[in-house]
Structure 1
Amino acid sequence: MEPLRPEDPTAIGGYPLLARIGAGGMGQVYLGLTGAGRHIALKVIREDFDGPQALARFRREVATVERVRSRFAAAMIGAGLEAPPYWLATEYVPGPTLRQTVAEHGPLPPATCMRLLAALAHGLLEIHRQGVQHRDLKPGNVILAPDGPRLIDFGIARGEGQTQITQTGAWNGTPGYVAPEVVREQQPLPASDVFSLAGTIAYAATGRPPFGGGRIEAIIHRTLGGEIDLDGADPRVAELVELCARKDPAERVTPERLLETLRDEAGDGLASDPEYRRRVTGLPPLPASVADAVTAGLVPPDRTTVGGPASGGLLGGRRGPLVAAAAAGVAVVVLGGAFAVRALTGGDGGTGGTGTGTVAATPSASGASGNPAGGGGTPGPGAGGASGDAGSPGAGAGAGAAGGPPPDELLLKQPTDDYQQMSFSENDHQCIPALRPEDSNLQRQMQVSAPRTPHSGDTVDLSVRYKWETPPDYYVAAEVRVPRGAQIGNAVSGAARSKPHLLTGSEWVELTYPTDFEWAGSGGAYPLIEGTWTIVWLHVHANGDAYYIGCDGFTVA
Structure 2
Amino acid sequence: MEPLRPEDPAGIGGYPLIARIGAGGMGQVYLGLTGGGRHIALKVIREDFDGPQALARFRREVATVERVRSRFAAAMVGAGLDAPPYWLATEYVPGPTLRQAVAEHGPLPPDTCLRLLAALAQGLLEIHRQGVQHRDLKPGNVILAPDGPRLIDFGIARGEGQTQITQTGAWNGTPGYVAPEVVREQEPVPASDVFSLAGTVAYAATGRPPFGGGRIEAIIHRTLNGDIDLDGADPRVAELVRLCAQKEPGSRISLERLLEIAASTVALADDPVYRRVVGVPQPVPASVADAAASGLVPPDRTRTTTTGGAAPLRSRAAVIAAAAGVVVIVLGGAFAARSIFNGDEGGNRANRTPSGQGGQGANGGPATKPGGSPAGQTPNPNGPPPDGILVKLPTADFQATEYSPKDGVCLPSVRVEKAEERYAGDLQVSAPRQPHAGESVEFGMRFKYQRPSNFYVAAQVRPPGPHGSAGPGWVQSKPHPYPAGDGYLDLTFPRDFRWDGSGAGAATELRPGVWTIVWMRVHPNGDAYYLGCDGFTAK
1:192 counterpart = 2:165: no
Corresponding residue for residue 501 of structure 1? none
Corresponding residue for residue 72 of structure 2? 72
Preserved CA contact (<8 Å) 1:44 1:86: yes
Q: SS at 1:71's partner residue?
A: coil
Structure 1 residues 298-313: aligned runs within 5 Å: 298-310=296-308, 312-313=309-310
Give distance in 1, aligned partners of 2:166 and 2:248: 23
Corresponding residue for residue 275 of structure 2? 277
Shift of 1:293: 1.3
Corresponding residue for residue 6 of structure 2? 6
Partner amino acid, structure 2, of 1:72: F
Q: 1:343 to 1:211 in 2, by over 3 A?
A: closer
Q: SS at 1:25's partner residue?
A: coil
Q: SS at 2:100's partner residue?
A: helix
Partner amino acid, structure 1, of 2:286: A
Structure 1 residues 408-557: aligned runs within 5 Å: none
Give distance in 1, aligned partners of 2:226 and 2:310: 53
Deviation sequence 1:413-443 (CA, Å, 0-9, x none) = xxxxxxxxxxxxxxxxxxxxxxxxxxxxxxx
Q: Which moved more, 1:30-39 or 1:287-296?
A: 287-296
Deviation sequence 1:339-395 (CA, Å, 0-9, x none) = 7998866452479xxxxxxxxxxxxxxxxxxxxxxxxxxxxxxxxxxxxxxxxxxxx
Q: 1:341 to 1:168 in 2, by over 3 A?
A: farther
Give distance in 2, aligned partners of 1:106 and 1:236: 19
Preserved CA contact (<8 Å) 1:20 1:31: yes
CA-atom RMSD, angstroms?
Answer: 2.1
Give distance in 2, aligned partners of 1:130 and 1:91: 20
Partner amino acid, structure 2, of 1:258: L
Preserved CA contact (<8 Å) 2:153 2:335: no
Give distance in 2, aligned partners of 1:162 and 1:259: 28
Corresponding residue for residue 527 of structure 1? none
Higher relative contact order (Cα pairs below 8 Å, separated by 6+ residues): 1
Corresponding residue for residue 34 of structure 2? 34
Give distance in 1, aligned partners of 2:256 and 2:262: 10
In structure 2, runs of 5+ residues without a counterpart are 314-327, 348-539
Give distance in 2, aligned partners of 1:27 and 1:340: 12
Preserved CA contact (<8 Å) 2:174 2:338: no
Give distance in 1, aligned partners of 2:164 and 2:335: 13
Shift of 1:183: 0.4
Shift of 1:20: 1.5
1:267 counterpart = 2:265: yes
Shift of 1:308: 2.8
Aligned equivalent of 1:338, options 334, 355, 359: 334
Give distance in 1, aligned partners of 2:101 and 2:336: 25
Give distance in 1, aligned partners of 2:259 and 2:201: 15
Q: SS at 1:90's partner residue?
A: strand
Give distance in 2, aligned partners of 1:27 and 1:343: 18
Preserved CA contact (<8 Å) 2:47 2:312: no
Preserved CA contact (<8 Å) 1:176 1:199: yes
Shift of 1:334: 4.4
Deviation sequence 1:30-60 (CA, Å, 0-9, x none) = 1111111100001111122100000000000
Corresponding residue for residue 43 of structure 1? 43
Corresponding residue for residue 98 of structure 2? 98
Preserved CA contact (<8 Å) 1:37 1:289: yes
1:63 counterpart = 2:63: yes
Q: SS at 1:58's partner residue?
A: helix
Q: 1:343 to 1:110 in 2, by over 3 A?
A: closer
Q: 1:79 to 1:268 in 2, by over 3 A?
A: same
Shift of 1:205: 0.7
Partner amino acid, structure 2, of 1:280: V
Give distance in 1, aligned partners of 2:268 and 2:232: 22
Preserved CA contact (<8 Å) 1:11 1:306: no
Partner amino acid, structure 1, of 2:70: S
Corresponding residue for residue 387 of structure 1? none
Q: 1:350 to 1:169 in 2, by over 3 A?
A: farther
Q: 1:347 to 1:212 in 2, by over 3 A?
A: closer
1:128 counterpart = 2:124: no
Q: 1:285 to 1:333 in 2, by over 3 A?
A: closer
Q: 1:283 to 1:334 in 2, by over 3 A?
A: closer
Give distance in 1, aligned partners of 2:139 and 2:304: 36
1:294 counterpart = 2:282: no
Give distance in 2, aligned partners of 1:83 and 1:160: 27
Give distance in 2, aligned partners of 1:272 and 1:180: 35
Corresponding residue for residue 234 of structure 1? 234
Partner amino acid, structure 1, of 2:60: R
Preserved CA contact (<8 Å) 1:76 1:333: no
Q: SS at 1:250's partner residue?
A: helix
Structure 1 residues 248-263: aligned runs within 5 Å: 248-263=248-263
Preserved CA contact (<8 Å) 2:154 2:332: no
Corresponding residue for residue 472 of structure 1? none
Q: Which moved more, 1:30-39 or 1:339-348?
A: 339-348
Q: SS at 2:260's partner residue?
A: helix
1:24 counterpart = 2:20: no
Deviation sequence 1:1-26 (CA, Å, 0-9, x none) = 12222332221111111111122331
Q: SS at 2:144's partner residue?
A: strand
Partner amino acid, structure 2, of 1:211: F
Identity among equivalent pairs (%): 82
Q: 1:345 to 1:14 in 2, by over 3 A?
A: farther
Q: SS at 2:37's partner residue?
A: coil
Aligned residues: 333
